[in-house]
Amino acid sequence: MTTSPPPDGKLVYRLLTGKDDNAFCARVSEALEQGYQLYGSPAATFNGEHVVVAQAVVWGSS
């Protein structure tokens, strides 16, 4: 279990959201590289223009 605080003053729980594209995937990948872990399943919706996705991450492991 990770006991240090999250980097850069970030929160222990984060909900990453955005357009379903490479930039969003890069943000999730960066969070995982920093020590966050996926929390739950991703969610997706269509806003009439593009797919919007959300993925929760938590700091450390449970």
pLDDT class for 3, splitting at 50, 70, 90?
confident
* DSSP summary character for residue 35: T
Q: pLDDT tens for residues 17-38?
A: 999 999 999 999 999 999 999 9
Strands 36-46 and 51-59: antiparallel
Q: pTM for the full model? A: 0.85
Q: Does residue 2 or residue 19 have the better pLDDT?
A: 19
pLDDT class for 1, splitting at 50, 70, 90?
low
